[in-house]
Amino acid sequence: MFIKSLKISIIAIVSLANAHAFAQGNQVLWYKEPAKIWTDALPIGNGRLGAMVFAGVATDRIQFNEETLWTGKPRNYNNPGASNYLAEIRKLLNEGKQQEAEALAQEKFMGLKSEEGDRKKWTAEMASANKPAMPDFDDRSWKIIPVPSYEGWETVGLANLDGAVWFRTTFELPLEWKGKDLVLDLNRIRDEDFTYVNGKLVGNTDNLNSRRYNISAKDLKVGKNTLAIQVLNYFDKGGIAGYKDTRRNIGIYPVGGTIEQGISLVKDWKYHIQNNEPPATAQYQESYQPFGDLKLYFKDHRTQFKDYKRSLDLNTAISTTTYTLNGINYQREYFASAPNNAIVVKLSANQHSAISFDAELSSPHLSAKTQVIDNRTIALNVKVKHGALGGEARLIAVVKNGNTRTADNKISIRNADEVTLYLIAATNFVNADDVSGDAKNTLNKAVNSLKTKTYTAIKEDHVADYQRYYNAFTVDFGKSVNESLPTNERIEQFAKADDAAFAALYMQYGRYLLISSSRPGTQPANLQGIWNDLLSPPWGSKYTTNINLEMNYWPTEILNLSDLNEPLFAKIKQLATKGSVTAKNYYNANGWVLHHNTDLWNGTAPINASNHGIWVAGAAWLSHHLWEHYQFTKDQQFLAKDGYPLMKQAALFFDDFLIQDPKTGWLISTPSNSPENGGLVAGPTMDHQIIRSLYKSCIAASQILGTDEALRRTWQKKIEQLAPNQIGKHGQLQEWLTDVDDTTNKHRHVSHLWGVYPGNDITWNTQPKMMSAARQSLLYRGDEATGWSLAWKINFWARFKDGDHAMKMIKMLLKPAINGSSGSYVNLFDAHPPFQIDGNFGSAAGIAELIIQSHDSFIELLPALPSAIPLGQVKGIQARGGFEFNIKWEGGKLIGLELKSKVGGSCKLRYKDLTLNLETKAGEKYELNGDLKII
């Protein structure tokens, strides 16, 4: 039996509300109304389980995920014969035949896809059932849907649907069109359509090309005509998508005319789902999956309520909803406990017997089934379509007084004083090669851990566990009048407001999200952290390794979350094993390689398209994180055991892969690309920056460890022969080996500035002219960008020592994401768009770079402080060398700092024109004034 939790008194509720009000300025996100859409909801997570809290009054939705529920299964991703074509691809690139090289690479050099179902058979079966095409078909029972669905029918009511769907509408043919042939202009349809007019098939297309079908006058009649379209969607977005430019209409018009002279078909259509089980679509890599939904139904809460507030307290990682209804004050608390592996929901009120609701579990997975376990427990079982993974979730209710029963796969609770719900979930995933796990065993362990604890103890353990990460760093950028605004209104005001405190809140929100989605022993944070509600999420919600995965972990060291690197480092070990096979199969090389994407199953082969999928620097970039960890912590045991061995193997790959460019004599990386811009090329600048940095790190690491002296000489020679950074004819840092940069190109990737950030291949101290050229490249690229790209640019401008320009980027990132723009959603999730969490993480690191930089041979204080943050204080910010700082400034000037030396050694400080070389002792603290004088 669970020990019954204690009732919250009226005094406690009032105290909690006051605490929230006090902390609201820099610790809380809050709103005056429930979430309407997924990106309004508030995220909670414990690294393994994630949930989005909608906080509705009559109906509350908690959409949840478990980190290992993915599509796919263990399989071979590598094309064993790929290396046979490497020399020819290189030859074609050397001859300037890029298109031919890309075509050959697409055919022979990409990774293997998963097994495909019998699409031909399924399509034939669907197409043969064409009675809905007939004009007299009875569609009165069909539902209504807006057409076009520009971003897929998932966004207009058919979430998580793949399959066959019929659409029907009518149009009135005017008398003056009698005897004229018409054009039916539908533009894009995802994926295949069979289009009928008055029962006659007028078109069938199986791609994303525009649909413009001619209709003969003899098949039309004056007055009402019936248009029926059968849409077959195999994977990802579905529906009649229309034009990307939503101002352009789909419609019908006479041949020789224009759509503007025709009849618009942008309106509500009738629809019917014919079949929702299409055959498996072959995939290069797999997708992260939602698990399900917990919904709470309060039948007696449909009347008017008042004083509504929902919030997320970053200090405690607890989301709270409060409101008053019929004179009763209601409160709900939500959090994701790592110590107890559970999502917890506590419902209470300030009157006895006031809690009554029904609770149910559901899932978008077709195979989902719910069942009653006992009189206070229900279960949800899911199985991923066409994959090896499935799982079970359980909802357990602990009720104080009141009546509880389970029926119709729901938990029904009436007239309780308080209720605590525990939601737990697990899958059969063991590792990327083993899916023999037993979810029930994991769930039973979670149940046993909960049995001996009260709610109060579980909550206290959760807060203590969370705060050991969160409290390691604090930030204060002063007060703002906008702190009294709800978060959604504060976002709207930020671009034109004096609200530096909001940037501080956003910085801590990034830390909160990383603590919630990446804990030791879990999977690393993916493109959406740990939160996803779609069966076909954007980009599979995978691990994109040509910047996005790496950006997720930019804040870990500088913002004092070093332990949260563990999932990333564990992933790197697994990728190195898989990547060594890819290195042999594709390049006949030793070591390991990783291309631009990976998934739960650790695929390392090239994917998608040859013009961007063949990029070889993923392993080297991830190795940079290993070296950074050592630089910040000086953990020599980590370097010897984990860091250097993985870095070394990445370097050994390039020892074999690099070839001499016949034109320049330099060693170059080929084939590769400058992500995701310019296609397949030889010698992209980004590759050479990353490889040069990898070699330098390996040389330094091997010296520290006293090993591989011969290799050090080899690597030093490689560095000297490697293609250098070059300044082009426009004064820019060249993106490619040749000077072909287009100064009007506004591409979101600014890959050739990797050496500025996150690398240190180019600095003001070592290469001022090259740094100026890099800055010129960024000016040409422009400020406008997608969310994560804006975050990267914050870091660039910080390294360029231009804090005001960086602040401009921060304001652009924190503008409302509306009408498909970049910026921030209501819940402060980053909008690529759509949601990608890397922008949250990258910008948090970027704001830190405004305050401290240590990538050169010294530690610089307030190197790029914006004028918009004239005063502030940070505690716990980290610098390379094993140093931790508390820094305070006023009027834009440093007024004092405290330095803690974790391992001892020389600390070289710089502030404006002041410098200090301080010899430190391990564990000692040093207090300095604004003139860098020891106090």
Examine the domain organization and report whether 540 and 675 are in the same domain: yes
Decide if 814 is inside a domain. no
Chain position carrying tokens 């309407």: 36
In DSSP terms, 381 is beta-bridged to 369, 392
Q: Helices 618-633 and 685-705, interaxial angle, to 10°?
A: 40
Q: Which domain holds residue 546?
A: 87-111+535-724
Does residue 718 sit in the same domain as residue 627?
yes
Alpha helices, DSSP H, located in 484-609? 487-494, 500-517, 548-552, 555-558, 566-587
Residue 19 confidence (pLDDT) above 80 = no
- Cis before 834 (ω within 30): yes
What percent of the chain has a predicted confidence (pLDDT) above 70?
97
Q: What is the pLDDT of residue 770?
A: 98
Q: What is the CATH number of the domain that holds 873?
A: 2.60.40.1180
If asked whether residues 66 and 180 sit together in one domain, one would say no
For the chain, how far is it from start to end, CA to CA, in angstroms?
59
Mean pLDDT of all residues belonging to the chain = 95
The total of other beta-carbon atoms located within 10 Å of residue 108's CB is 16
* Ordered DSSP codes for 411-442: EEEEEESEEEEEEEEEES--BTTB----HHHH
Q: Which DSSP string corresponds to 433-483?
A: TB----HHHHHHHHHHHHHT--HHHHHHHHHHHHHHHHTT-EEE----GGG
Residues 593 and 697 in one domain: yes
pLDDT, tens only, 440-496: 999 999 999 998 899 999 999 999 999 999 999 999 999 999 999 999 999 999 999
Sign of torsion, CA 205 209 215 216? negative
- One domain for residues 248 and 305: no
CATH number at residue 689: 1.50.10.10
- Give per-residue pLDDT as tens, 538-579: 999 999 999 999 999 999 999 999 999 999 999 999 999 999
453 and 587 within one domain = no
Identify whether 495 is part of a domain.
no
* Residue indicated by tokens 């240590």: 854
pLDDT given for residue 5 in this prediction: 37
Output the DSSP codes for 368-385.
-EEEEEETTEEEEEEE-T
Specify whether the backbone of 541 is left (phi greater than 0), alpha (psi in -120 to 50) or beta: left
Q: Which two tokens stand for residue 40?
A: 């309004």
The answer to whether residues 69 and 389 touch, using CB atoms and an 8 Å cutoff, is yes
pLDDT over 50 at 354, yes or no = yes
| Interval 222-255: pLDDT, tens | 999 999 999 999 999 999 999 988 889 999 999 9
Q: How many separate domains does the chain show?
A: 4
Q: How confident is the model at residue 787 (pLDDT cuts 50, 70, 90)?
A: very high
> Is the domain of 551 the same as that of 690?
yes
Q: Are residues 66 and 152 in the same domain?
A: no
Task: Assess if residue 452 is contained within a domain.
Answer: yes
- Examine the fold and report which residue of 430, 454, 471 is the final residue of a domain before the chain moves on: 471
pLDDT over 80 at 3, yes or no: no
On whether both 92 and 64 belong to a single domain, the answer is no
Phi–psi pair at 684, nearest 5 degrees: -70, 140
Last residue of some domain: 275, 298, 323? 275
Amino acid 563: pLDDT: 98
Longest dimension (CA), the chain: 95
**Averaged pLDDT for residues 269-294:** 97
CATH number at residue 241: 2.60.120.260
Q: Is residue 513 part of a domain?
A: no
Q: Which residues of 341-364 are buried (b: 16+ CB within 10 A; e: fewer)?
A: bbbbbbbbbbeeebbbbbbbbebb
Give residue 1's pLDDT band: very low, low, confident or very high (50, 70, 90): very low
HEC-encoded secondary structure of 895-908 = EEEEEEECCCEEEE
- 96, 124: one domain: no
CA distance 17 to 891: 34
**C-alpha dihedral sign at 108, 113, 117, 119:** negative
Measured CA to CA in angstroms, residue 33 lies from 30, 247, 308 at distances of 9, 31, 6
Q: Are 192 and 119 in contact (CB under 8 A)?
A: no
At residue 27, the pLDDT reads 93
Identify the CA nearest to 165 among candidates 188, 194, 140, 206.
194
32 and 126 both lie in a single domain: no
For residue 710, pLDDT over 50 is answered with yes
Report d(CA 788, CA 842) in Å as an integer. 7
**Which one is predicted more confidently, 779 or 19?**
779
Which of 724, 749, 780 terminates a domain? The answer is: 724
265 inside domain:
yes
Residue 838 domain flag? no
**Given pLDDT bands bounded at 50, 70 and 90, which one contains residue 303?**
confident
Q: Say if residue 16's pLDDT is above 90.
A: no
**How confident is the model over 720-759, as pLDDT tens digits?**
999 999 999 999 999 999 999 999 999 999 999 999 999 9
pLDDT value at 14 more than 90: no
pLDDT at 6 over 50: no
User: pLDDT band at residue 304, thresholds of 50, 70 and 90?
Assistant: confident
- 500 within some domain: no
Distance of CA 287 to the CA centre of its chain: 12
Q: Residue 858's pLDDT is what?
A: 98
CATH number at residue 404: 2.70.98.50
* Residue 30 pLDDT greater than 80, yes or no: yes
Beta bridge partners of 263: 252
Residue 544 vs residues 102, 139, 611, 727: alpha-carbon distances, Å: 21, 44, 16, 29
Give the dihedral sign, CA 617/618/621/622: negative
| Overall average pLDDT of the 123-150 stretch | 96
**Amino acid (1-letter code) at residue 84:** N
Asked whether residue 94 is domain-assigned, the answer is yes
Per-residue confidence (pLDDT) for residue 300, from 0 to 100: 86
pLDDT on residue 728? 97
pLDDT single digits (tens) 140-172: 999 999 999 998 999 899 989 999 999 999 999
Rounded average pLDDT over 77-83: 96
Same domain, 307 and 168: no
pLDDT of residue 295: 98
pLDDT of residue 262: 95
Q: Per-residue pLDDT tens for 846-862?
A: 999 999 999 999 999 99
d(CA 650, CA 573): 11
